[in-house]
Amino acid sequence: MKLRHIWLLSLVLILSAGQLARAQPAATEALNFKSFGLLAIQDNGRRKPIDTFARETFIRISGRSTYTNGGKTWRPNDFVLSALMATHDWKNEPMVLVSFGKLKERLGLDKTQRRFSFAQLAASPELNRLANEAREKRRAEKALDRLEQEALSVTDRLALFANVLDGSALLIVPAAKNETDPWVVPPASAQYYSEEQFAPIQIQLQALAAAYGQGDGFNFSRASNQLRQDLRALSPSIYPTERQLRLEYFYNHFEAFYRAIWLYSLGFLLLLIAHLRKTGRALRTAPVGIATLGLLFHASGIVMRCLIGGRPPVTNMTTVYLLAALPVTLVAVLLVHQMPIAMPSSIDPLVPVLRDNFWLTVHVLTITLSYAAFALAMGFGHILLFRYARNPSDARADAPMHFWLYRVLQLGVLLLAAGTILGGVWANYSWGRFWGWDPKETWALIALLCYILTLHGRLAGWWTEFGLVVASVICFLAVLMAWYGVNFVLGKGLHSYGFGIGGETYVATFVIVDLLFVGFAVWRYRTSRRVPKAIEAAVTTA
């Protein structure tokens, strides 16, 4: 019997199983999907368990890790098998995420909903038109607006959904010898293996489909285990080891970071109660142990992620982050090391107002983290300004950098606002007043208003992405004044415990040079925009 005939027979069995599953929609809830989830698949250039693929696919399509319908909660592995075997009418289930309000308005969708059916979105001519226009602009290396980006995201979700429905996403057959060769779906296995080699795989595929359709947990797990062994036997040097697959499966279900979040939250809550109620030593000590346990879960998650990926848990944005952050870090460490009078390194007792460790930690750490976020945004701004000065058209097309600059600024504003409010609470606790226009308070407020104006102006369309880049650098001068100027130049106010001396010449030189660099980048940007307009005018005149 030819391989295509075997595959047709499998489809008949799959459809038969699908009919049975439709008659008994809750039959698969009792199945244990661990053995099936341990099957390896190639996806996005990586070999991973199907469990990982199913989870990622489910989240990319719906934005959720589960889906509930008619009293049944569908798990990712169950969804993938059900979609492949057509045991449920998935095309008409409202599960494709559309979150952008303007896109829903353009498509004539209900704004109160966030998810819509595959059939409804795939039949929308307006969505197809927007996506095609966005692709044309992307090919022409033009910047996309938010509406076009969201349209492309939705069409990507639909394409992924379609690939799951027709089975083309399930690349479970490994390449024969070359690691760089792509894996294939079972019908295409003839390019690597003979009919005799693939026959055991086909038998287990049929057994797995039949067991799933019948809700037979024992045979489902047995067929999944045997299928994994047979697939590994086809190409043992290419197929992931059992240890690799089980480690990633354990990582998926252990949820170390989720556990750490709960432990951190519990530790913080108990610590807050202990400080507010002035309770005994036991309640003050318990949060330390809970936080330590949370840290262990956190660390274990990072270690497992490193082992699974074979590298630290970073992406290609890491070098950009380092390029932005390392100069700032280098300057800060150099100032501390080379200017011991201006920035003394001695460890002295705290002044009385700082001896409340709770407020010291919460307020000062929040403010410091906001300054760190703004410093990182300032580093991003310098990188982008350099790119604008060198090649404005390439810089304009760098959407990820502009996106992350905006996000880091948002984070900084959130932290600075929270830190300023918490500082007022601490001031009321220590000095009997919430706000007193102390220089430190005033300049922190000025810095906050500068960044709020920056974000609001970009959102309102008052300036372009280039304006946001310039503002990320210019507004940092307000942070510099709030931190350095008040403490090392003005030397006045109730925050006298934080004052120092010296370094004005270095800081002033940095500010002047930086402003000259910003001015040059602005001039270069404006010049680049005049050239196309001049060419267009010349063509029109001719």
Q: Tokens standing for 241?
A: 């080891």
- Buried b / exposed e along 173-200 (16+ C-beta atoms within 10 A): bbbeeeeeeebbebbebbebbeeeebeb
pLDDT the model gives residue 321: 62
Paired with 117 in beta bridges are 94
Mean per-residue pLDDT for 296-301?
90
- If one compares 373 and 459, the residue with the highest pLDDT of the two is 373
pLDDT the model gives residue 19: 43
* pLDDT greater than 80 at residue 456: yes
pLDDT the model gives residue 21: 42
pLDDT the model gives residue 18: 43
Locate tokens 């799959």: which residue? Answer: 14
3-state secondary structure 244-293: HHHHHHHHHHHCHHHHHHHHHHHHHHHHHHHHHHCCCHHHHHHHHHHHHH
Of the chain, the percentage scoring pLDDT greater than 70 comes to 78
- If one compares 359 and 456, the residue with the highest pLDDT of the two is 456
**Range of weakest confidence among 32-36, 82-86, 254-258, 308-312:** 308-312
pLDDT the model gives residue 311: 64
- If one compares 532 and 406, the residue with the highest pLDDT of the two is 406
pLDDT the model gives residue 155: 95
Over residues 229-273, the pLDDT tens digits come to 999 999 999 999 999 999 999 999 998 988 988 888 888 788 777
Mean per-residue pLDDT for 465-474?
90
Measured distance CA(94)–CA(63) in Å, rounded = 12
* pLDDT greater than 70 at residue 480: yes
- If one compares 329 and 80, the residue with the highest pLDDT of the two is 80
Measured distance CA(17)–CA(215) in Å, rounded = 10
Mean residue pLDDT across the chain: 81
Confidence of residue 441 (pLDDT cuts 50, 70, 90): confident
pLDDT the model gives residue 47: 92
- If one compares 240 and 44, the residue with the highest pLDDT of the two is 240
Confidence of residue 116 (pLDDT cuts 50, 70, 90): very high
Q: Is residue 96 helix, strand or coil?
A: strand
Q: Sign of torsion, CA 137 141 145 149? A: positive
* pLDDT greater than 80 at residue 53: yes
Q: Sign of torsion, CA 391 396 400 405? A: positive
Q: Is residue 160 helix, strand or coil?
A: helix
Rounded alpha-carbon distances, angstroms, from residue 405 to 477, 524, 537: 17, 21, 35
pLDDT the model gives residue 353: 52
Mean per-residue pLDDT for 187-206?
89
- Buried b / exposed e along 59-84 (16+ C-beta atoms within 10 A): eebbeeeebeeeeeebbbbbbbbbbb
Question: Domain coordinates of the chain in residue numbers?
Answer: 3-237, 255-309, 318-541
pLDDT the model gives residue 232: 94
Over residues 117-154, the pLDDT tens digits come to 999 999 999 999 999 999 998 887 677 788 988 999 99
- If one compares 329 and 37, the residue with the highest pLDDT of the two is 37
Mean per-residue pLDDT for 179-185?
87
Of the chain, the percentage scoring pLDDT greater than 90 comes to 36
